[in-house]
Structure 1
Amino acid sequence: MAGQLWVSREDADKRHFGQLADDAIARVEERLQLHISLLYSLRAFFEVAGTAISPQTFAEFVAGLELASRYNGIQGLGFAQTIATTHTDEAQRKLDARFGRPLTIWPQTRQPIRTPVMLLAPQDERNRAALGYDMYSDASRREAMQAAARSGRPVASAAVRLVQEIDRDVQFGFLVYLPMRADLSAGTGLVNDTSGFVYAPFRIGDFLNAALFEKPHLPVHAEVYDGPADADHLVYTLSQAGGPDSDRLAIWREIEVAGRTWRFHFVPTQDFQRFGSNYPAALLATFVLILALVLALLTLVQARRLEAVAALNRESQRNLDQKDLLLREMNHRIKNSITRMLSIARQTARRSEGLDDFTDRYEARLHAMSAAQEMLTRSKWGRAEIRALLENELKQVFGEEGTDLRLDGPAVEVDEIGAQSLGLTFHELATNAMKYGALSTPTGSLAVSWRLADGHVTIEWRESGGVVPDLSTIRSGFGTKLMDAMIRGELDGRIERLVENDAYVVHIRFPHANLAKRQVVPGSRL
């Protein structure tokens, strides 16, 4: 409803302004036809009195028309005689004799014919400057006279600078020509078949202001184009200032000006009276917006409640999934611990010299496993370094006498989530290396390196010199799924497994917002 009120009001204003634009065009056309009728009157006068009349007789005729009071906008009425260029001297002598003073036919021309101004009234200072001017020497004027000679009707020139423009208020002008036949039966359409042209010069600004701004005043501002609506053809801008939101009501109109097309771009001025106010529509729109806002807030509150319930359900399900995962991990870890204990027992027995030696060595390794497990448990609730996690897990798996293990990287702390996830991951990798990988043989070696870059931790686990595990078997095991869950699910990272030059390599990368950078500790051997 608010929109309809607004649109209806805007539509009414547009229609009203369109009517004003049509009224403005009608005024221009009416005034132009009135001025053209003067040319027909002048041609009839010459056909009766002849063109050889004195300037005084011609001035009296024009004065009787009362141009200044009744035909505001026209600069005067005149007669331009058609002569051969070879007869210029003779025509100039007639011009001198007619006005009783020396006058010049100007400017120089290469055209075969000339049309100098022989009569022009009223004889004010501006019009006297045009006497003797050869209008056929100018291309725009010549084109209009040729068109008038062909049609026998009034034809307007393109926008030109009138020779009467002798003061500071310079405007574009135009001229309307009506041909006079030397022989009424001749119809070749050539300028040299005419005895001359009766014409009227117009200043475009004065002409349009007289048409649009005489009472009743029209509240319009206009830009006028002689031909295409571009900057090169803009001939006049009416001085009235546009009103607020005038561009929304702007409108285009076209008229024919004695054979030429003029385009008018109208916008309303500040005096344009609109049909109503936008306040009712704005008030209704405000009320609707407030109501919509209240409904939106109620909907948002309800949606937040539903989201909270859904989040609680998701968290409950996540806790159940995590509990199940921990139970499975506990079962898996117990099995791995038993396997490690048996493996350590076998390795210790092979290298022990007796039962007492075996007991001492085996007891020490069990204590190491216990200490490593305790450190990992503490890391859940505090912070732990990556190096410490690695050392404890590797000692737990391989014992104090690990064969060829190398760690290299800066001192980096991770929070409890990172410590738990990395501890479990290192445990699985070490166990797999001992059971299936390179460290299951005496020639195998392990190198683990890590670095910090762009807010990410990158870890490389590289096993070489021994058995290369089958990637397809590794990817299907529970330990692999557990590592993927820790790195991808908990740390939002990625883990990749590949074989490079007979070496089994695991790449781990994850973002870490809580890195604590310390002095880099050079690589050490376990």
Structure 2
Amino acid sequence: MRAIRNSNVCVLYQTADLAYVWAENLPDIWVDVWHVGVYDHELMQESMAAKLGVAKRSVLETGEPQSVEIAVPHGDQLRWFELSIDCDRDDDNATIGVVTTAVDITELKRREQVLKTLLREVSHRSKNLLAIIQSIAMQTARFTGTVDDFLFKFRGRVQSLSYSQDLVTDSNWRGAQFRELVRSQMQKYVDVSDPRFTLSGDDPYIFPGAALHIGLALHELIVNSTSYGALSNGQGTIAISGKLENIGTERMSLVIKWDERVPGSFKETDLNARFGSAVLERIVPISVNGTSTYHIEPNGVSYSLDVPRSQFDL
């Protein structure tokens, strides 16, 4: 009995009428109310006492050990105990009492609850990610004419998702900082230290779902630029900015701007190829509950995405 005093184990003894006779290493929640002759219903809620009573009477009648988990209110929380119940016999092998070993498993229960919450969150996020991929696949198929073209565009967009997802995961699912999100999408195509590329403005945390979609928008702009714009000839410039507007009001938002300038002018075929991007004009704005504008001019491209306050943190 002395050996368990430094553990979370408690041992209690009851006579055949289930009145307590002695206890060793009582948990603090029972120290003030326990006494010789006390019964379970005086130590805990009636529902828990009834559950224990059924198990203990079974032990007395059959001699077979029982195991029960109970929850006991303690302040605004619950304390959980795993109880192992055994019968006590005299020299004539007659059952004369019940020995209960109680182990405090509160911390284990809390860990189980955290794990269940995390698993539900992972499941929810996985479903969201699969829905995004399905949407990308459908939209990519609608605007491509060949299998090879579809595979090229689809792989690029999925890879863009993976870059953004890495940032979200590294932040423990908080999201991704705006500038880091831009750099992660740009680094495959351009040296971010190149003076022809500038990144300025505010740097809020973009929440996970919005980060994935904004990453897609950036990817779309970058791919277009490598095919027809500043990144195709090495002579143009790209300026990306993020600016918080209407700070301190309900209309607060993050305005992301892409300004691409190309010396000379685009060919007519290039202009036609860049029009009508479903990702930039429909999928991303709808997904972040925002709005966008997309303009293609003879010597450049401008894109603006207005992201509401609900999609980012300062």
Q: TM class, shorter-chain normalised?
A: 0.3 to 0.5
Q: Which has the larger radius of gyration?
A: 1
Task: Report which of the two has the higher share of strand.
Answer: 2
Name the one with the larger helix percent.
1
Instruction: Give the alignment's TM-score, normalised by structure 1.
Output: 0.28
